Chain A
Amino acid sequence: MREVAIVAFGQSDHVRDSAQTSEVEMLMPVLHDVLRRTGLRTRDIGFTCSGSSDYLAGRAFSFTMALDGVGAWPPISESHVETDGAWALYEAWVKLLTGEADTALVYAYGKSSPGDLREVLTRQLDPYYLAPLWPDSVALAALQAQALIDAGRTDEAELAAIADRDRTAAAAHPHAQRRGPRPAGEYVVAPLRTGDCPPIGDGAAAVILAAGDTARRLAAAQGRRPAWIRGLDHRIEAHSLGVRDLTDSPSTRLAAERAGVFRRPVDTAELHAPFTSQEVVLRDALALDDTVRINPSGGAQAANPVMATGLIRLGEAADRIQRGDSDRALAHATSGPCLQQNLVAVLEGEA
């Protein structure tokens, strides 16, 4: 099988409201950043894949506007997923494995500021039994959190400590929207407090993938090593929330198994847990112990540009490997209510 690596990662500053820029205006500097680092021009890219959601902007086919930023005319080899960009990376990874391309540009962006994110996210739910009740994203996460508390798996103090650790890490992050610890705050939907919920905001991220010697060359040009993707898999839970055991994530465990997470310990894990309580579920499913550094980037608590947050987890993990701060890292991305879909990657530096 071909070896594929992440060779560059970039992201925008994450802000509460980016009304002064359109999606493509927000995205372009990030695209140019990863292209500049690798010395590639858009026309050198073999495959382009993006992740975003029209529901955030409230405009059909809004992703086609962002395509202007990659120079998509005359037509390029390109695809789009209507979910987090981590799944766009998965598609690009498969494309590189087939040998149809040697390089891929993967990007994702989300502007939550135009709408009411909690309402917008209800539209991804089962349209027959759930969507007519408008259960918002915090409410559903709170049901999961209460189930964990009832099962004796966590308590509010531990959730506050998770938020504190992520926000402390985010204090040093140049792109974070929310930096440094803050009080746990009032209940949004109990048992979740404002401190357990991610910031709502706008942002973008991009990654460049390359295969084999191309990856080595593009990384060496930056004086860095490639972050090799040793395994990548994604799985989904049963459709109905009431069918699932909300305190467990068998889909994450299965994806991790298929990605090879359990073969050797990882030193770092970037977990996409929009709500603190979801980290408790993920840590158990991934069998992460105290030796693993979790979310050195600050995770989704630092910034949560919906549709890009998962791709950023892969990018942050890869960046640490490229810098030599990690040798074997796990990156996780999620989509849907209560960790409905999960993607797990294992990244390693050159052996």
Chain B
Amino acid sequence: MQRRDAVKFCAALLGTSLSPALRRAFADNLTATQGTNAVRLSNLQEQLISTLAELIIPTTDTPGAITAGVPRFIIHIYTHWFDESERAIFLQGLERLEQASQSQQACHFVDASQTFQNLQLAQEEAIALNYVSDAPVRGIATREHDPNTPFFSRLKELVVVGYYTSEIGCKQEQIYTPMPGRYQGQLPYSEFNRRFSG
């Protein structure tokens, strides 16, 4: 088993649902379209996605999800990669958050306080953490496609994948070493305090 097989395999054993197809689908240039039922999101929905992405990976001492282009990626996936049931679940999630804000804060979610936003998103996470997938395990035990994946899980996966495969996620959040030239198997972490990417 090659390292790459092992990485996938170990990820699967950790009970996560990495989706290689998602990683493949990520790109900076999102002009190409292939979806047969391309559906456009409203401006407000797109802003909501940006807000949510930045809540998950915010700007700190390094750029956050928005600067890294994550919202653009999520919108592309929503439009061209999601199937109908995935879109429906995702839209329902967006609507739940927006409605909660309208009824409790009398404003759009994107304009609500960050405290409120975090609280609402934590509620979505609680739903996701209680979800048990019964989708069939395929290949090396990765769940390629569970149409019922809850809103938060899907959102977080897209943010994580989008961020850490972005140029900013690779070069600024991590130490980019695409051509290390050798293998070093015992480096003190304290000298770097970051992961290596590339």
Whether chain B is bound by chain A comes out as: no
Residues in B lying within 8 Å of A, measured CB to CB: none
Residues in A lying within 8 Å of B, measured CB to CB: none
